[in-house]
Structures are given as structure tokens and as C-alpha cells.
Structure 1
Amino acid sequence: MLSELSYTRKGSGEPLVLIHGIGHRRQAWDPVLETLAQSYDVIAVDLAGFGESPAYPLQAAYDMDNACDNLSDNFAAWGVDRPHVVGNSLGGAIALELGARGLARSVTALSPAGFFGTVNRLQTLVLLVLLRVTSQLPASVLRSVSRSSAGRRLAGSSLYAHPERFTAAQVYGDALALKHCHGFERTIVKGVTYSFREHLDVPTTIAWGTRDLILPYSSSAIAQERLPEARHVALPHCGHVPMVDDPALVVRVVQNTTAEADAGMAADAAALSRTWRSSTAS
């Protein structure tokens, strides 16, 4: 495989894989991890070149084909087949791509990339590059900012509606993850022109924070136009990373999506049973 991914695994039940956004790490899912683990076998993963996962080899592109192939290889290594997938931002786009390739049984995409308007694409690029540049400040400066409540609000204001909920340790950890990640620039190069235009045959929900500054809520209209088969949900008062701003709402959205998949599987099994009984009776 291109990269053996680091992950946190908790709970039992149907497999549920959580995929973070660009520059982030698997700890982004901490606000919902324990609750989801009460119902699912939850795997929160660090994407290649982010968090604790090694980057791709230099000759490998950070494109969707490699992202999906690499995750599929890791699914197999974890003993997981067609999990439910939940992704945020870049992770949301990857989740949609996995669903389109038949590698997921359901998809929940939170403010996914891939539905840019011209202005939105530029806004997203500028904000992400600014976050990356500021993360390169000396560690002593990042630590000092994280210790100040005003600094924590400033550092997280573009990502969260409620950055004040973070501790100094969480803000500093996220800053170091963004500072030291090896996949950022190679992902941005591919992401500048990326657009999601596939069709999905699995239960899919696209949920968008109404206060998202990185991928503005107006992008949800493009998603609705391209994916009319999906359920589209607004996340009121949530920013770009809604797991922090309203964890209970995010959990409900995930549960509703997976329940739809389970109902479809039960209906298929019942239809197959009826067909078998009919054929044996004749």
C-alpha cells in the first residue's frame, strides 16, 4: 500500500470510518468519537502525510485515485469491508469518491470539497494557505498563542463557530499537526482544480455548516445540483468543522444516513428471501 495509515479504533458494530480534512488529524473527531463508538466499530484515520501517517512516496500523486486505493488497502488490513464513511472537507470529498467507487455502504460528507464556485475556490485556497503559513511560526509562538483565550479564538475562528471550546493543548496540537504535515502542498496542487461530478448509488448525506468560512454554505447549492440523489442538510450555527460546534447534531446526521443503508440492506435481503421461496415452491 502507498501508506500504512495511523488510526484510533473504538467500539463495536458495523464499521464506520472517519476521515479528516486537509492539514488536520484524526483527533478532529474526538468530540463525536465516544458517542459513535457506542453503536459502531469506529475507525478515525490520519490520511497519508497528515497526523501520524507517513506520506506517499514522492512519485505518487495526492489525487483521488490514490487516496481511495490507499484507504481501500488499509480497510482490508483492518479487516473491514465497505464501511460506512464520514468525512469533513477534503475527507468529505474522499468519502464521496469512495461511495462512487462502491467502496462504502453509506456516505456522510460534512462540508465536502469539490463543489467550488470560482470565487469560493479562491477564498478557500487563500484561507488554507494562510493557515499553513501561520503554522510555520516558531513552536514557542504557537504555544504562547494556544495558552491565551484570545489567541485560541483567533486561531480557530476560520474553522469553528465556537473556537473557545478548545483547550490550549488541543490548539497547540492542531497547530503542530498543520506545521509538520507532509501532504499539504501536494494535496493543494491537486485540489485547486478538483471537482466532484460522480453519481452515487449508496445512501448519501451532504451536510453543510451555515457559518462555514473555508467552504462557504453557498457551495451547498452546487452540491444539490450535482447530487440530487443525496440528502442535503444544513447544520445551523456550525463552522467548517461541525463536529466541534454541534457534536450531537453531527452524530444524528451520521446515524440517519447509516440507518437508511441498513434499511436498504434489510429490504434487499427480504426480496432475495421471497425470490428463493418462490423458486423452491415452484
Structure 2
Amino acid sequence: MRHRLSPVSRRQGALMSATVSFKVPSATGPQPVTVSYARVGRGEPLLLLHGIGHHRQAWDPVVDILATERDVIAVDLPGFGASPGLPEGLSYDLATTTSVFGALCEALELDRPHVAGNSLGGLLALELGRERLVRSVTALSPAGFWSEAERRYAFGVLLAMRHISRRLPLPLVEQLARSAAGRTMLTSTIYSRPGRRSPEAVVAETLALAQATGFDETLRAGTAVQFADDVPGLPVTVAWGTRDMILVRRQGVRAKQIIPRARLVRLPGCGHCPMNDDPALVARVILDGSR
């Protein structure tokens, strides 16, 4: 296991940006995986998992609030953000990715952390809960509770976003990001209040989507995903934005039917990535779910 650390200044305290390498079992023997993450705060550990095509900076609007009560670890999923893709012999399916995060927690000496995830990250958070690897789960618009028609629609939207991000020249992205109207054009699919996102963040996440080496294989693996099991024995919160344009909010009702003891929370006026749209509300939902 190897760690590399580099501190990055923040408004409150110091965010520690780092990578960690560890081994994950495969059919051909243990394979090395490297994951990039950022860490800040103190208290019980809280793991943050982003959605497909995004990166750990998706959590920036809420990290400072969460860090007042939690040791926050925001992770770039393998093949996204600054994390390299998975090596040959490891697929991007749910079982493998769950094993990766189990090994990550062991490498970072996280004893059953709390976990919060958005979209794909929400699905992974629920799977980690089902496997008893975490002590609480907060899932924001988690994948996996769709009908087949809803899944096809969501994947179509994601593929269109990916196609556009890869075709836009960087100077044009930077120009569009300078105005609220341009940021709306680039990010209104995932945010209901895209004007609140900074120009720098919009440019960075457009590049993250375009350059995500794990996007295609992750999306392909998701065609067979349907979350159908309860997550008994630990606190589970499922929260859905009322303006989610990718995973429609009625999927939250299905999640509640499958996980009957879960707390189902409505996020008024929020889109698919609600951390940007209402940071105070989302942080409170996560902290309440992990208390």
C-alpha cells in the first residue's frame, strides 16, 4: 500500500489531496488499484462518492460544512477525475467497484465509515451498506431504482452530455463558463441552479466528463443494474431533488418500497446533483443521516 499526500489550502483548515494504492482480488490474482482522494475535517469518517462522469469536486459546495463534524474523504472513482482506470482483469461492474471501496477503506484504515453518494455514487453507497462495510448511508438520487424505459432515457441523456463535452473546444467551454447563461447551457441537465457554479468549476467538470476513461465501461455495466435488496440494520437516507432531470423523482418512492426503513427526503428546487443547488440543505441531510 502506498500513499502520496499534497496539502491544498481551503477557506477552513487544509484539504489534503492524496493518492493511495492497494490490491484488489481478481480472477487472475490481486490487481493494483490507485485512487485519488481529498481529506479534511475531524470526527467520524465520512466517505463521499460522486456520479458517473463527474469528479470529487462535485462535493466542494458542502465539504466545509460537513468537515465541521466529520473526517471527510471525497474520492475520485476509478477511471474518473484524477483516479486512473482499473487495470486489466478488473471490470467496472457493481461487485468489483464495491470490492475496490472495501479495499480503499482498509487501506485508509477507515473502520466502517459513514458514506454519502450521488447518482452512481448513491448506488455504490447503498451496495456498501448492503455489504455491511459502512455504518450509515445517504444516497442522493441513487441509480438503480429505474424502470427499463427510465434507464434508457437516463443513459441517453448521459451519452449526449458526454458527446457534447468531447466535441466542445476548450476555449469555447471557457468562454461559455464566464456567463451565467453559458453555465446554464453547459450544466442545466445536472443543476437546477447552474448559475451558482463557478466558471472554474464548470470548466473542470466539463473536462472531467470528456476525459473520464471509465465512462463507457461503467455505463455498459449499468445496463444490468437493478437495486432490489433491503439494507437492514443501519440508518439509510434516500434524498431526491424535485427538479432531477436525469433520474426522475418517482424512483425515490420505489427506493422507499425496496428499503422500507429508509428515510425518504425531498430536496425542493434541487436537480440531479443537489450539492450545488442547496448546499446547506444537502449537508444537513447528510449529517442528520450519519448521526
- Pairwise same-fold verdict (TM > 0.5): yes
Question: Which residue number corresponds to residue 57 of structure 1?
Answer: 87
Give 1:252 deviation, angstroms.
1.3
Q: Residue type of the partner of 1:160?
A: Y
Given candidates 142, 157, 160, the residue that maps to 1:127 is 157
Give 1:222 deviation, angstroms.
1.4
Q: Which runs of 5+ in 2 are unaligned?
A: 1-22, 24-31
Given candidates 228, 231, 247, the residue that maps to 1:197 is 228
Contact 1:120 1:219 in 2 (8 A): no
Give 1:143 deviation, angstroms.
2.1
SS in structure 1 of the partner of residue 35 of structure 2: coil
Partners of 1:150 and 1:250 in 2: how far apart? Answer: 25
Partners of 2:65 and 2:241 in 1: how far apart? Answer: 20
Partners of 1:25 and 1:255 in 2: how far apart? Answer: 21
Given candidates 225, 229, 245, the residue that maps to 2:261 is 229
TM-score scaled by structure 1? 0.89
SS in structure 2 of the partner of residue 135 of structure 1: helix
Question: Which residue number corresponds to residue 180 of structure 1?
Answer: 211
Give 1:147 deviation, angstroms.
2.4
Question: Which residue number corresponds to residue 118 of structure 1?
Answer: 148
Partners of 2:152 and 2:160 in 1: how far apart? Answer: 12
Aligned length: 259
Give 1:60 deviation, angstroms.
1.6
Question: Which residue number corresponds to residue 277 of structure 2?
Answer: 245
Higher helix share: 1
Partners of 2:180 and 2:283 in 1: how far apart? Answer: 28
Give 1:168 deviation, angstroms.
1.4
SS in structure 1 of the partner of residue 290 of structure 2: helix
Higher strand share: 2
Contact 2:180 2:194 in 1 (8 A): no
Segment of structure 1 superposing worse, 42-51 or 249-258:
249-258
4+ residue stretches of structure 1 with deviation over 4 A? none
Identity %: 46
Question: Which residue number corresponds to residue 209 of structure 1?
Answer: 241
Question: Which residue number corresponds to residue 219 of structure 1?
Answer: 251
Question: Which residue number corresponds to residue 84 of structure 1?
Answer: 114
Question: Which residue number corresponds to residue 266 of structure 1?
Answer: none
SS in structure 1 of the partner of residue 33 of structure 2: coil
Give 1:129 deviation, angstroms.
0.3
SS in structure 2 of the partner of residue 5 of structure 1: strand
Aligned Cα root-mean-square deviation (Å): 1.1
1:15 paired to 2:45: yes
Q: Which runs of 5+ in 1 are unaligned?
A: 260-282
Partners of 2:279 and 2:44 in 1: how far apart? Answer: 20
Structure with larger Rg: 1
Listed one character per residue, the Cα deviations across residues 216-241 of structure 1 (whole Å, up to 9, x for unaligned) are 11111211221112111111111000
Q: Residue type of the partner of 2:105?
A: F
TM-score scaled by structure 2? 0.87
Partners of 1:69 and 1:5 in 2: how far apart? Answer: 13
Give 1:11 deviation, angstroms.
0.6
Segment of structure 1 superposing worse, 208-217 or 69-78:
69-78
Listed one character per residue, the Cα deviations across residues 161-203 of structure 1 (whole Å, up to 9, x for unaligned) are 1000112111100011111110000000011221111221211
